[in-house]
A and B are shown apart, each in its own frame.
Chain A
Amino acid sequence: MDQTSSLAPLVRRWSGYTELSDEDRNAIQRLPFAERIAPRESYLVREGEPTTSCMVLLKGFAYRQKLVTDGARQIISFHIPGEFIDLQNAILDVSDHNVQALTRTQLAVVPKPALLEIMAARPAVRRAIWLETLIDASIFREWVVNVGRRDARTRIAHLLCELVLRLRRSGEAERSVWEFPITQEQIADATGLTPVHTNRTLQSLRRDGLITLANGELSVLDWEKLAETGDFNERYLHHS
């Protein structure tokens, strides 16, 4: 086991949701977990499987997806380091969607009983866990709006704003260039568009001087204009 891995990022984010005592923080840090390395594109959770654990992303990116019967894929959310990828499965018995590694990822696999135990013993931690799943739900709602009622350019700008804001809040606020391993095909599957349409739209955002996106790196050149183009109001992130 890598001596440096810890659940500290989790403590940091949850402290932002609700007040945690020193005992609460220690209890989170002491949650048992097994470390797992998963290659790019491998399945971390499969739809229909009974749930036994929840996973915190320590390194790398992941995404949730669902398939229609004829095989088309809808990406439902992206996850960045420090986030749980399937916290709802602490309570739900069966997984209702898939989660895949977007890059090579390092994960902390926390057994369900340990999460249930900390929720029962520590009301503040229970509140933080509940809040995290409620903020996830708020993001899912916003994605329904995004695919249902925004045009292609707005959808993609909205998605980029969300990801940049979440990356910024995950601790690297000063950056202007982001590691951005998400492919155009994945952006298409997250926004209900075709890869061709996505490519054209990204080019137009570049041409208009809002972003640059190349070699797995994203820079936002004009945040105000990108947010306006994306009809982006961060309220739905609830300060997460």
Chain B
Amino acid sequence: MDHPPEHPLQNLLRKLELHHRLGDEDRQAVLNLPYRRRSVEAQSYLVREGDAPDRCAVVISGYAFRHKLTGDGARQILAIHIPGEAVDFQNMFLEEADHNVQMLSRGEVAEIPRQPLEALTLSRSEVGRAILLTTLVEASIFREWTLNIGRRDARSRIAHLLCEFAYRLAAQGMEPVRDYELPMTQEQLADATGLTAVHVNRVLKSLAAEGLIERDRRVIRFPDWQRLRDVGDFNPRYMHTLPATDANAHLG
């Protein structure tokens, strides 16, 4: 099947419209943003803590992750980003990056200069609202992660993370995907959930033994989604996704 080559910011538009619908002119204005397209290797840094960023990066392909290091060198992963997501919208306004962003896999990013991006949020108030909403939903996800790590056991933490990822990968307003390629190693899963890699390995084995997940190399499937949700104490409310409507079906 032939597809016309897609605009690199098309997926950003889809992600923005998870939270706020835009009219045609606003959509076009987003696509008209200046950007620089760049190939990036796995593990390469997009942002370093302490930088004074002059641009925001949007993932075109591959995965990225945010993290922070403690004084003694332990790493905490703060978020995983999938194609279409901006990895550092907050740096449009904050003067100094307060954490690192690295590629999880090899991929491509579009880097949008900070100034025209901020100008667009002012000249087009609906685009501004959509971007503001995106940053507010990110904050909500950070809150949920604090709860996940602070007050859930290892099994629930991992199940919760797997459920969140299934929702994030879903098309707009659609059901969560029931299988995906998990881009994270067990060590990275551990760093996202405040566990050790050994503990994560044990939990994944026990989830598999109970029939809640099936793994085939990096692909992970969920034969009993409802039970996985229960185990993960997962309620998607914190993701603030708009319900699907016919009007946006073409975006899926």
* A residues with CB within 8 A of B: 47-48, 64, 66, 68-70, 72-74, 76, 88, 91-94, 96-97, 120, 123, 126-127, 130-131, 133-138, 140-145, 147-150, 154, 189, 191-192, 231, 235-236, 238
Chain B residues whose CB sits within 8 angstroms of the CB of A149 once the complex forms = 70, 74-76, 191, 194
The answer to whether B50 touches A235 (Cβ under 8 A) is yes
Closest 10 CB pairs of A and B: A192-B150, A148-B194, A137-B139, A140-B142, A231-B71, A74-B147, A149-B74, A147-B150, A145-B76, A74-B150
From B149, B238, B240, give the contact of A192 (CB < 8 A): B149
From A68, A143, A154, give the contact of B151 (CB < 8 A): A68
CB distance from A24 to the nearest CB of B (A): 15
Would you call B94 an interface residue if the criterion is a C-beta within 8 Å of the partner chain's C-beta atoms?
yes
The count of residues in chain B whose C-beta lies closer than 8 Å to any C-beta of chain A is 48
CA distance A231 to B70 in the complex (A): 7
Additional A-B contacts beyond A66-B146, A97-B143 (11; CB < 8 A): A68-B152, A72-B152, A94-B240, A96-B240, A136-B139, A138-B90, A140-B142, A141-B78, A143-B142, A149-B76, A238-B98
The answer to whether A138 touches B98 (Cβ under 8 A) is yes
The answer to whether B194 touches A147 (Cβ under 8 A) is yes
The answer to whether A144 touches B237 (Cβ under 8 A) is no
Among B71, B139, B143, chain A packs the most CB atoms within 10 A around the CB of: B143
- Chain B, 138-163, contact with A by CB distance < 8 Å: what is the 0/1 string? 11101111110111100010000000
Chain B residues whose CB sits within 8 angstroms of the CB of A236 once the complex forms = 98-99
Chain A residues whose CB sits within 8 angstroms of the CB of B96 once the complex forms = 235, 238
CA distance A187 to B72 in the complex (A): 23
CA distance A14 to B150 in the complex (A): 31
CB distance from B145 to the nearest CB of A (A): 5
* B residues with CB within 8 A of A: 49-50, 66, 68, 70-72, 74-76, 78, 90, 93-96, 98-99, 122, 125, 128-129, 132-133, 135-140, 142-147, 149-152, 156, 191, 193-194, 233, 237-238, 240
Task: Knowing A148-B194, A149-B76, say if A88 contacts B145 (CB, 8 Å).
Answer: no
Chain A residues whose CB sits within 8 angstroms of the CB of B194 once the complex forms = 147-149
Judged by DSSP, the binding face of B is: helix
Q: Can you report 8 A-B residue pairs in the complex whose CB atoms are below 8 A from each other?
A: A66-B147, A96-B140, A131-B93, A140-B146, A141-B78, A145-B70, A149-B194, A238-B96
| CB nearest neighbor in B for A97 | B143
CA distance A134 to B99 in the complex (A): 13
The answer to whether A91 touches B78 (Cβ under 8 A) is no
From B50, B66, B132, give the contact of A91 (CB < 8 A): B132
The answer to whether B125 touches A120 (Cβ under 8 A) is yes
CB distance from B185 to the nearest CB of A (A): 17
Chain A residues whose CB sits within 8 angstroms of the CB of B233 once the complex forms = 68-70
| CB nearest neighbor in B for A70 | B233
Judged by DSSP, the binding face of A is: helix
| CB nearest neighbor in B for A116 | B129
| CB nearest neighbor in A for B128 | A126
CA distance A145 to B74 in the complex (A): 9
Chain B residues whose CB sits within 8 angstroms of the CB of A66 once the complex forms = 143-144, 146-147
Among B50, B96, B98, B144, chain A packs the most CB atoms within 10 A around the CB of: B98
Chain A residues whose CB sits within 8 angstroms of the CB of B125 once the complex forms = 120
CB distance from B90 to the nearest CB of A (A): 5
CA distance A192 to B95 in the complex (A): 31
Task: Knowing A97-B143, A131-B93, say if A137 contacts B138 (CB, 8 Å).
Answer: yes
Chain A residues whose CB sits within 8 angstroms of the CB of B137 once the complex forms = 92
Task: Knowing A96-B238, A145-B78, A149-B194, say if A134 contacts B90 (CB, 8 Å).
Answer: yes
Task: Knowing A131-B93, A236-B98, say if A191 contacts B150 (CB, 8 Å).
Answer: yes
CB distance from A157 to the nearest CB of B (A): 12
| CB nearest neighbor in B for A138 | B98
Chain B residues whose CB sits within 8 angstroms of the CB of A47 once the complex forms = 237
The answer to whether A92 touches B136 (Cβ under 8 A) is yes
Chain A residues whose CB sits within 8 angstroms of the CB of B138 once the complex forms = 137
CB distance from B41 to the nearest CB of A (A): 25
